[in-house]
Amino acid sequence: MPSTEYFGYSITNLGPLTTTYTPPPSCITATADHIVYAIETLGAHIGLGAPTCESEPFEDCIPSGAEYDDLFATSYNMAGHGWRHYYSPGLHCPHGWTTAGVLAPGEETGSDDKGGFFTRTNPDPTGIATPLMPDELWSRILGPSETVAYCCPSGWDASLMGCLSFIEPVVSATHTGYCTERWLSETQPPWVTVHTIEGTPVPGTAGVISHYSRTGEYSQGTAPISQFTARYDKATIARTLPIVPLVYQASDAEDTATQTATESDAESDEESTGVAEEDSGESEGEGNAASTLLKVGRISPVVAVLVGVLTGAGLLMPW
């Protein structure tokens, strides 16, 4: 990944993920933390807010969770487009997670190979400028032969807010308010609309939002949840976890396959000679290789190579 900044977004690699990370089970089963309000429109879920303005750390619920929480704490309430994280080389979704989408940039504009989340319709194609969508961002920052795969817990929905697990309708819940945030000194919208980024046109006719830098006093508060008005009876209470984006090349998988094959040969030699080193009793075989990062509706050519390499090495679970 050659980019560390693009169009005001800070792009941060949280490190390699070449083995299966196992988060605590409570990260998936809990229902009281990381709550947001969401609504489905045009086949995608968009956010309507959160019951509280207080941020909650994710800690070991995701790989390198402490680093992720530090990034969030540093950038929260700051002006600009924010940041995007990824794991590279990233070859395995966490245990209990599965692939929600895959994108491999094409050689020409509009020729990207996409699957899952990245094939969804823009949630607001109404002629109104939106932030740069994830597929457009990744298409522009990935290096040659790189692919990004989005991971979410199995059964959760990948969205612009992250991975979502739906709990109950808002009208059935006990929450009464939602967080409001604004800059007190603002006299105009803190953004402009642009139609090209670094000389390349953006899709659609409405353009994308480019944020101004902002200074001054920042205010947070709580407004009645009933202000959702017409959307109130359609909104849902959901839990959210960050998407785990894996960035990899076919050569990353080949390196892993070579290492695994070498280790397998060594184990075979040990078995044939009756000599083996004492181990801790823990093993990392197919039984806890959790989710394949490749199970999506479509598979790009780069991904197909990765599937072949890992399957030959015995690293992927059967689908």
**Is 289 a residue whose pLDDT tops 70?**
no
Q: Domain for residue 76, yes or no?
A: yes
Q: What is the pLDDT of residue 250?
A: 81
Which of 55 and 64 is assigned the larger pLDDT? 64
Q: Domain for residue 256, yes or no?
A: no
pLDDT in tens, 164-204: 998 888 888 788 888 887 766 655 566 788 888 888 888 77
pLDDT in tens, 88-113: 999 999 999 999 999 998 877 667 89
**Is 282 a residue whose pLDDT tops 50?**
no
Q: Domain for residue 294, yes or no?
A: no
pLDDT band at residue 154, thresholds of 50, 70 and 90?
A: very high
Number of domain units in the chain = 1
Instruction: Taking residues 283-311, report their average pLDDT.
Output: 32
Q: Domain for residue 155, yes or no?
A: yes
Which of 125 and 195 is assigned the larger pLDDT? 195
pTM, two decimal places = 0.77
Q: What is the pLDDT of residue 292?
A: 40
Pick from 53-57, 127-131, 166-170, 243-247 the range whose average pLDDT is largest. Answer: 243-247
Q: Domain for residue 289, yes or no?
A: no
Q: What is the pLDDT of residue 288?
A: 27
Q: Domain for residue 279, yes or no?
A: no
Instruction: Taking residues 62-69, report their average pLDDT.
Output: 96
Q: Domain for residue 293, yes or no?
A: no
Q: What is the pLDDT of residue 229?
A: 56
Q: Domain for residue 21, yes or no?
A: yes
Q: What is the pLDDT of residue 111?
A: 75
pLDDT in tens, 229-280: 556 777 888 999 999 999 999 888 766 554 544 444 444 444 443 433 333 3
pLDDT averaged over every residue in the chain: 74
Q: What is the pLDDT of residue 169?
A: 86
pLDDT in tens, 201-230: 887 778 888 876 666 667 788 888 777 655
Which of 309 and 15 is assigned the larger pLDDT? 15
pLDDT band at residue 77, thresholds of 50, 70 and 90?
A: low
Q: What is the pLDDT of residue 186?
A: 59
Q: What is the DSSP string of the chain?
A: ---SEETTEEEEE---B-S-----THHHH--SSSEEEEEEETTEEEEEE-S-S-----GGGSTTHHHHHHHHHHHTT-SSS-EEEEBSSB--PPTTEEEEEEEE--SSTT--EEEEGGGSPPS--SS--BPPPHHHHHHHH--TT-EEEEEEETT-EEETTEEEEEEEEGGGS---EEEEEEETT-SS-SEEEESEETTEEPSSSS-EEEEPP--S-EEEEEEEGGGGGGGGGG-EEEEEE--EEEEE-HHHHHHHHHHHHHHHHHHHHHHHHT------S---SGGG----TT-SSS--HHHHHHHHHHHHTT-SPP-
Give residue 221's domain range. Answer: 5-247
